[in-house]
Structure 1
Amino acid sequence: MELKNQTAIITGAGKGIGKAAAITLAKEGVHLGLVARSLSDLQSLQTELTGNYGIRVELAAVDISSRSDVDRELPALADRLGSADILINNAGIAMFGKLAEMDPEEWEQIIRTNLMGTYYVTRAVLPVMLNQSRGSIINIASTAGERGFATGSAYCASKHAVLGLTEALLQEVRKSNIRVTALTPSTVNTELAVNAGLPVGDEDRMMQPEDVAELILAALKLPQRVFIKTAGIWTTNPQ
C-alpha cells in the first residue's frame, strides 16, 4: 500500500521504538504527529525529519495516562495534520517487582499508562478514522502479553489487556476499512528496557528499535483488505 502523503500519529515518539518508527515512516513520505510527555524530546527530531524528508511534523506534549490531556491534545493534533490515517500506540512504561511487594501506586501507574493510555489515545483518534472510512491502528504489545513471568504481574497484565483490546476493536471497526494490529516483540534494546533492569545482553544480537519499526512498516504496507491481529517478533538469545 502506498504510504506517501498519509498521516501518522505516534505516541512515545521521542525515543526508542517510537523514534525509530517516526524515521522509518518519514522516509516513506508520511506526515507525522509526534507525541511525548516532553516537547524537548521531539523538537530536534522534528527538525531532522522536516529537513531530511520534506514532510510536515506536528508535535504534542501529552501524558497519555491523563484522559483530559489526551482529549484536549490528540483531536487537535489530528486536526492540524488534516487527517489520521495511521495511529501507532507505542508509549509505555515498565516496572517490575513481586506482586506482594510492589507498591500499589506503581502497579496502577503501569495499567494507567500501558492500558488506559492506549485506550484514551485510540478513543480520541478513532472518530477521525471512522469519519474518513479508513485507517490503521498498530498497538505495540509484548511477548509479556502472551505469557507471564515472575516480577512482571503489572506489566504482563497491561500487555495481555492491550491484546484483548486489539482483538475486540478489530471486530468493531473492520467493516469501516480500519485495520487494528498488535505487535508482540520480546525485549528490545531501548532506554526503557535498560532503566527497568531487563537483561539486554549483547547489543549485536539484541533486537533493536529499528527492527520493530521495519515490522510496523511491513504491517502498514499490506493491502487494506488483509487483516492481521498480531505479529510476533523475538530477539535471538542475547546471553
Structure 2
Amino acid sequence: MSLNNQVAIITGAGKGIGKAIAQALAKEGVHLGLIARTTSDLEALQSELREQHGIKVAIASADISDQSAAEKAVEALVSELGGIDILINNAGIAKFGKLVEMDTQDWERIIQVNLMGTYYMTRAVLPKLIAQNQGNIINIASTAGERGFATGSAYNASKFAIMGLTEAVMQEVRKNNIRVVALTPSTVNTELAVNTGLSIGDEDRMMQPEDVAELALATLKLPQRVFVKTAGIWTTNPQ
C-alpha cells in the first residue's frame, strides 16, 4: 500500500522514536506535521526532511499535555498541510520510583503527558478522519502497558490506560475505515531510557528507534481492511 502524498502528524517528533518515524515516513513521500516542545529540534528535522525528500514539513512547538495547545497545533498543521491521514501519538515521559516515595506532581505529570496528551491529540484529529471516512492512528504504548514492574506505577498506569484507550477507540471507529493500533516495544535505546536510568544492556544488540519506526511503517502499509489491536517488539534482553 502506497503512503505517497498522505499527511501524518507525529508528536514527540524532535528526537528518538518520533524522529525515526518521521524519517521513515518521509522516505515514503508522506508530508509531515511535527510536534514537540523544543523548537530547535523541530527546525533541524524540518530542514533535513525537506532537503532530502522534497516533502512538505510543517512544525508546531507545543506541550500536548495542554488541551488548548494540542488543539491549536493540530489546526495549524492541518491548515498548512491541507489535511491529515495519519496520527502518531508518540510523545511521552517517564520517571520511576516507589509509589509512596514518588512525588505526586511527578506521578500526575506522567499521566497528563502520556495519557491525556494522547487523548487530546486523538480527540482533535478524529473528527477529521471520520469526516473523510479514512485514516490511521498509531499509539506508541509499551510492554509496560501489558505488565507492571516495581517502581513503574505511574508509567505502567499511563501505558495500560493507552492500551485500553486504543482498543475502545478502535471499536468506535473501525466502521469509519479508521485503524487504531497500539505498538508495544520493550526498552528502546533512546535519550529517555538513558536519562531515566533504565538498564539498556548491550547497545550493539539493543532495539533502536529505527526498529519501532519500521514496525509503524509496516502497520501503515497493511491493507485498510486489516485491523489489529497491538503489535509488539522486544529487545534482545527484554525487561
Question: Same fold judged by TM-score > 0.5?
Answer: yes
1:186-197 aligned at under 5 Å gives the runs 186-197=186-197
In structure 1, C-alpha distance between the alignment counterparts of 2:3 and 2:133, rounded to whole Å: 16
2:129 aligned with 1:116: no
What is the CA deviation profile of residues 182-210 of structure 1, one whole-angstrom value per residue up to 9, with x for unaligned ones? Answer: 00000000001101110111111100000
2:134 aligned with 1:134: yes
Measured after TM superposition, the shift of residue 80 of structure 1 is 1.4
1:53-202 aligned at under 5 Å gives the runs 53-202=53-202
Give the AA of the match of 1:128. Answer: K
In structure 1, C-alpha distance between the alignment counterparts of 2:16 and 2:73, rounded to whole Å: 22
Give the AA of the match of 2:77. Answer: L
SS at structure 1 position matched to 2:128: helix
SS at structure 2 position matched to 1:50: helix
TM-score, length-scaled by structure 1: 0.98
Measured after TM superposition, the shift of residue 46 of structure 1 is 0.6
In structure 2, C-alpha distance between the alignment counterparts of 1:59 and 1:49, rounded to whole Å: 12
User: CA contact under 8 A between 2:7 and 2:32: conserved in structure 1?
Assistant: yes
In structure 2, C-alpha distance between the alignment counterparts of 1:74 and 1:224, rounded to whole Å: 24
Measured after TM superposition, the shift of residue 75 of structure 1 is 1.9
SS at structure 2 position matched to 1:204: helix
Gapped regions of structure 2 (runs ≥ 5):
none
User: CA contact under 8 A between 1:9 and 1:35: conserved in structure 2?
Assistant: yes
In structure 2, C-alpha distance between the alignment counterparts of 1:75 and 1:147, rounded to whole Å: 36
TM-score, length-scaled by structure 2: 0.98
Pairwise CA RMSD: 1.0
SS at structure 2 position matched to 1:105: helix
What is the CA deviation profile of residues 100-140 of structure 1, one whole-angstrom value per residue up to 9, with x for unaligned ones? Answer: 10000000000000000000011111111111110000000
SS at structure 2 position matched to 1:188: coil
User: CA contact under 8 A between 2:187 and 2:238: conserved in structure 1?
Assistant: no
In structure 2, C-alpha distance between the alignment counterparts of 1:71 and 1:210, rounded to whole Å: 28
SS at structure 2 position matched to 1:130: helix
In structure 2, C-alpha distance between the alignment counterparts of 1:230 and 1:144, rounded to whole Å: 13
Question: Residue in 2 aligned with 1:35?
Answer: 35
Measured after TM superposition, the shift of residue 238 of structure 1 is 7.4
Runs of 4+ residues deviating >3 angstroms: none
In structure 2, C-alpha distance between the alignment counterparts of 1:19 and 1:90, rounded to whole Å: 10
Measured after TM superposition, the shift of residue 76 of structure 1 is 2.0
SS at structure 1 position matched to 2:203: coil
Gapped regions of structure 1 (runs ≥ 5):
none
Question: Residue in 1 aligned with 2:237?
Answer: 237
Report the number of matched residues: 239
In structure 2, C-alpha distance between the alignment counterparts of 1:139 and 1:79, rounded to whole Å: 23
In structure 2, C-alpha distance between the alignment counterparts of 1:188 and 1:146, rounded to whole Å: 16
What is the CA deviation profile of residues 129-179 of structure 1, one whole-angstrom value per residue up to 9, with x for unaligned ones? Answer: 111110000000000000000000000000000000000000110000100
In structure 2, C-alpha distance between the alignment counterparts of 1:212 and 1:145, rounded to whole Å: 16
In structure 2, C-alpha distance between the alignment counterparts of 1:116 and 1:163, rounded to whole Å: 13
In structure 2, C-alpha distance between the alignment counterparts of 1:75 and 1:163, rounded to whole Å: 26
User: CA contact under 8 A between 1:145 and 1:161: conserved in structure 2?
Assistant: yes
Measured after TM superposition, the shift of residue 84 of structure 1 is 0.8
Question: Residue in 2 aligned with 1:20?
Answer: 20
